[in-house]
Structure 1
C-alpha cells in the first residue's frame, strides 16, 4: 500500500499533479491538503475510476496531521506562483514560511516519508525542509528531494524541436545539473542521448542553454500575469514522484535528476564535490533511487569547457541560495 500526499493540492500545480497521481495504479491512497478548496478537489478526483482512495483536508481540526498520517511520499507544490517582475528573492520571502510550516507537520506526523519539494525557490526551500527536520531529530538526507525534473523535460523537448522531431521528446535525455533556477541550471548538452547537429554553432548552443535555464520566464510572460509554469511542472513532478514510488515498491536501477543533500550517499557526494571544486551541501545531479531513497549520486562525467564554465558560474549563486534557506530556519521560531 502506498499513500501519496500533495501539500498545496488546490493550486495551479497541485490540482493537475493530484490528477496525475490519482491516474496512477501505483497509488493506493491520495491525501490532499491546502488552505482552501481541498475537500472539493478530493471529491472531484474521487469520481475517477482508478484504485486510489482520495481524502482532502483543510487546516482546521488537525487537517495537516490527518493528511500526513501514514504518508509514504509527500509532494510539496504549495506556495504562491511567480508573477511578472517578481524575482526569486521576492518569491522566497513568501514561500519560505509556508514550506517551513509544512515541514514541521511532516517532521511530527510523517517523519519517515520521502519528501519531494517543488515549491520555489527549490535551491533554498530544500535546505529549509532539511533544517526543520534536523531540529526535530528526524532528518534523513536519503529521503529528501528537490524536484528538478522540469529542467530535464524542457531540455528534452527543446532538443527534439531542434532535431525536427517532437516524437523524440520522450526518448531524448539531457542531464541537467547544478540547481533549479536561472544560471544554476546547467544542461549538459554534450551528453544528450540524441546529439545536436554537427552544424549547431556555439551561439546556438548558448541560446539553447539560456532557453533551458530561463524557460520559466517564457511561460510567465506568455501567461501575461495569470501565472507561471503549472501544467508542465505538475507533469514533471508526477513523473519524478512515480519513479520514487516505483523504487519504494522495490524496483531497482531507477535514475532521475534531483537536488539533494550530498551526504545522501557520502562517497559519491564527496566525489561530486571534488568534481565541482566546491564543498557545497546541496547539488542537483542524476541520482539512483532505491527503496530507502538515494542510493547513489552519479558523477558529472566528461564536460566541455563551456559546461565547466557554466558550473563555475552556478556555484556562487547556489552557495548563496543554500545559505539563505539555512539562515531562514536559524532565525525562525518553529
Structure 2
C-alpha cells in the first residue's frame, strides 16, 4: 500500500486551510498528523478520505486517484453519528449494506468485528445509551467493516473521558498490528503512545515529518545535566572557566553544562567534581528534550 498526498491546497473564502501539503505513507505504518487546533488537520483528513475536494493537488492510493479506491479506506470522524434507536448489530448491518457488502458476508463478519472492538456483549443494545467510548469503538468497527487497507481517524479520543480514551487507545494498539493508520490529533500524548512517525502541520503547512527516534536524536543537546547541593554551587564557577565549557544554565532542579564533546568532557567534569568532593545527585550526558517540548518549539510562535 502506498498513499501519496501531492501538493494539496484547500481554500475557504479568504482562508487557506491547507497549503501545498505533501507526504507519503506505506503499509503497516502508524502515522500521527499532529498540530494545534485550527492547523488544517481535519480539512486534510477529509480530503484524504475523499469527503472534501482539494483546490490543488491530488491524492493517489497505489498509483490511482483516491476517489476510485474508496473501498480501501476506513474513515472515523471525530464525532461519529448513528441512529440512536438502532442496536450496534443493526447499525453495522445498515452501514455495511450502504457500502455494498453482501448481507451473508455481513452476518458472518459483524459478530467478529464487534468482538474485535469489545462490543460483542452489546450487539443488541441500542446505540442511544452507549457511552462516548463505546460509540467511538462502534465507529472504529464501522470503519473496519469493509476490511480497508488504511484507516483514517480524525481526533478519535479528544472528546472522551479518561476511561473512554483508554479504551479507544488500547483498541488502536491492537488494530495497528494489521492495519495502516493515519491518526489526526492535537494531543501529543495520544500520538506518542500509538504512532512511530509524526507529521506536524501548522497553518496548513507541513513543518516536520520524522520518526520519534529521529526527533529525539536530532534534539539531543551537547550538554551534561547535573544536580548538586547548594553548598557545592561555587564549584560551578571553576567549571565555567574550563576551555571546553561553552555555558552553564539552570535547568529543572539542576544545571545544564554545555560542552564541546559530551562523552569526553563528562569524564573530565566527573573526575574534577570527585576531586573537589562535590556530591552529585544527578549526572546525565546528552540531555534530550521531550516530544512535547519539541512539538511546542515547532508550533508555538514566540
TM class, shorter-length: under 0.3
Q: Return the TM-score normalized by structure 1.
A: 0.25
Larger Rg over CA atoms:
2
Query: Which structure is higher in helix share?
Result: 1
Task: Answer 1 or 2: higher relative contact order, Cα 8 Å, separation at least 6.
Answer: 2
- Scaled by the length of structure 2, what TM-score is found? 0.27
Which of the two has greater strand per residue?
A: 2
